[in-house]
Amino acid sequence: QVQLVESGGTLVQAGGSLRLSCVASARTFSIMGWFRQAPGKEREFVASVRWNDGVICYANSVRGRFTISRDNGKNTVYLQMNSLKPEDTAVYYCAAGQNWSAPKTKTYYAYWGQGTQVTVSS
């Protein structure tokens, strides 16, 4: 079965940078994405990348600051986070799915990692 493991979350100062990684045990999906969830809030879309052609989608809140990328050979997706803000503080989840028609919709992703905590201090 597919397993996703996130890593890279830590405490960082506002304005700083951080890179998250997500390693998949298999590549049986067409899209991978990042979501985040802050305490008391719903899980929200951050970014996604289609595996075959690399088409990328970003949430407006992170566009221009975050960059998603993938390494086909390593079955790994990255989220480079720059110019971090306190409101970026959340648990970040890696997700994978077979249907890339609605990349911002969490129900389209069948597989989820356990999350990695990102805390941005102010």
pLDDT in tens, 37-54: 999 999 999 999 998 899
Three-state secondary-structure class, residue 33 = strand
Give residue 2's pLDDT band: very low, low, confident or very high (50, 70, 90). Answer: confident
Q: Burial of 101 by CB count in 10 Å (0-12 exposed, 13-18 middle, 19+ buried)?
A: exposed
Measure CA of the first residue to CA of the last residue in the chain; give whole Å: 40
Instruction: Name the token pair of 44.
Output: 């929200």
User: For tokens 């990042």, what's the residue?
Assistant: 34
Percent above pLDDT 70 for the chain:
98
As beta bridge partners, residue 97 has 31
